[in-house]
Structure 1
Amino acid sequence: ARTNRALSSTATFAERLVHFWANHFTISTTRVTVYPFAGLYEREVIRPGMTGGFSDLLLNVCRHPAMLLYLDQAQSRGPTSPAGQRANTGLNENLAREVLELMTLGAQGGYTQADVTEFAKALTGWTLVSKPVRERVPTLELGAFVFIPQFHEPGPRTVLGKTYAQAGEDQAAAILRDLSVHPATARTIATKLARHFISDEPPPGAVAALAAAFTRSNGSLPALHETLIGLPEAWDAQARKFKSPNDFIVSGLRLTGLNKVEDRALIAAYTQLGQVPYRAPSPKGWPDDAASWSGGDALMKRIEWAQALGQRLGSSIKPAERANDVLGPVLRPVTRQAIERAESADQGLTLALMSPEFQWR
């Protein structure tokens, strides 16, 4: 569904933003329990969240069952909470650590292990409705977010030098709100956006402009995205990105004119090229640099996929015309000539898909 939406959409920038933010706030079905929630997570949190503020998006990400399960927050109990003392279950720091390191401040953001532990204690009680909980409270929806006071570690928490004395669920929410507007968070988001949309080596001026827009707008994502579009660096012909497997498959299918593909064929393609949606190898998400996707083996797999697509669809299209429509002035005369002189239409389509120009965006 995700790829077919990207194929049929005319709002291609918005679709790319969905993929960017979903990767920034990674969940992965490498944890089997996450599988039923993966698509819902993107539809319920990421897509609607792009039109609001970073603070709200961060809060909703941390409350969604997919994230609670992926980073084991659902099992976390305060060491001296009633549930922690009774069941002898422990504190889990995964969500707290990844929020600080990957979602907000960044690895060099100035936090300490003590901050991670304190934040993790504040997050205790954030869980989802299990069958035992629903048996006690039948009105609750199974699998939905719920705050359970008996799981929460009592007392104030100190994170980044600030003490949070709020009670219950509000304590972690207050910490998340402060993290969402921290200067280090602005730099983290600005750097990742510039790396994804402009260059593997983000231009310092672009990063500074994006960070300033983030801070000035109090984390407004529409304002941030608008700033990105207006950056001169974003339109520099020398600033380009090597396509990830996801980019390559979506753009390749769009070149053929397809706007819907069977899920089985899509999963096979993503598996072959090594980037199955919702299966990132770690909370860091998928890598966003050319070196990770441009090795010899990776390129051979692209050739094999392009050849198979060419054999299936080449005879139904005019590859040279499609390549010209898609690549425009980027298409070199020598490449166009090679496509036009191909022995067959399917070979022409393969050449178009594997041309040097088509590997970059």
Structure 2
Amino acid sequence: MPKITLEVLEKLTYQKYGDSPTIKSYTKWNLFEENSPLKLPTEAKGEDVGINANVIFSGSESKFDLPEGVELAEGTLGLSQPEESRILGFHFYALKKAYRLRITKNLLEPFVIVSHLSENAFISHHLSIEVENANAPIIIYDLSENGTKSLVVELRLKNAEAEILTVGNHKALSHYLLRATLGDGSKVRAFTVVKGGKMSHHREDYSLEGTGSELILRGIPIGIGSAVDYLTNVLQYGEGSKSETRVNGYSYRGGWVVHRGVAKVFEKAKGSSSEVSSHVIIMDEGSLGVSVPMLEVDTGEIENASHSSSVAQFDEDALFYLQSRGLSREEALRLFVHGIGEALSDHLEKLKSKARSNVITLVEELL
């Protein structure tokens, strides 16, 4: 497991601006600095999370209930390193133990992972997953009630397919990183819904390295009286690879939603296609919405490449129509987000109903 010394940690910055799709940093890093593992305890008690799961990280405790075809070991895949940034430095500095799973058989039921914190501490959870010659539906619950929680999930697919539903439900500070590599013929269908907390930094990195590898990613960041900085990065190296990223965000009641999305097609990824679209709706005055998609293509031999962006106020005509039918602004928003959630989750197969029910639950909690 990677280690970091305090001396090295002190020299790291949160963001390398030259590598960012925008110059400005949208995550409120000062909050993480004030609630870092240098200032908070790095141990916390576990609690009953109320979710039936195969892997449960709660506080400093971990529990496993693995089905046939899933093997458990310790360590990481090495896809993330502490020297990358100060937040990852904090993650590895506080990390007590990293776990590694290997999935070699088709999973008939969703594989459920829970990461949870309810105490005023800085807690790191780290899980690596290898899927080889198998299909795996995976649900990740990222839950932070208090303190600062960092969750890193590393994923490597070899001749495999995965459906990934990520549900972020935050009240406090949260750092999340999903980093995945896709080998030849591997496919990922992902759906992410994140309810921001005091500050939620949510990042997903996908590297399409194999020939014919595919990614379909849909996301809904929601900031209602809260803040979420949602980053999606897709790098395409494999010939004939395909990626499609679509994000719809919502901010309300002084909330703050940012989506920064990068898609890059490298020169050797001939015959590939890439799409990234980013749309944020601001529901009222005083809320913030930022949409920053970025597309870079290094080859002329490409099937398709496109990107789109918008930041807009909620459609007042639609709102007036719904209110004339007796709905409040909150009820109109709930109905609208539910509809978008159903549309964005249509690409899932085994996890579609789970995605829809989680969108409903999060929005009902917010309004």
Considering the TM-score relative to the shorter chain, is it more than 0.5? Answer: no
Report the TM-score when normalising by structure 1: 0.21
Structure 1 or 2, whichever has the larger Rg, is 1
Q: Does 1 or 2 have the higher relative contact order (CA < 8 Å, sep 6+)?
A: 1
Higher relative helix content = 1
Higher relative strand content = 2
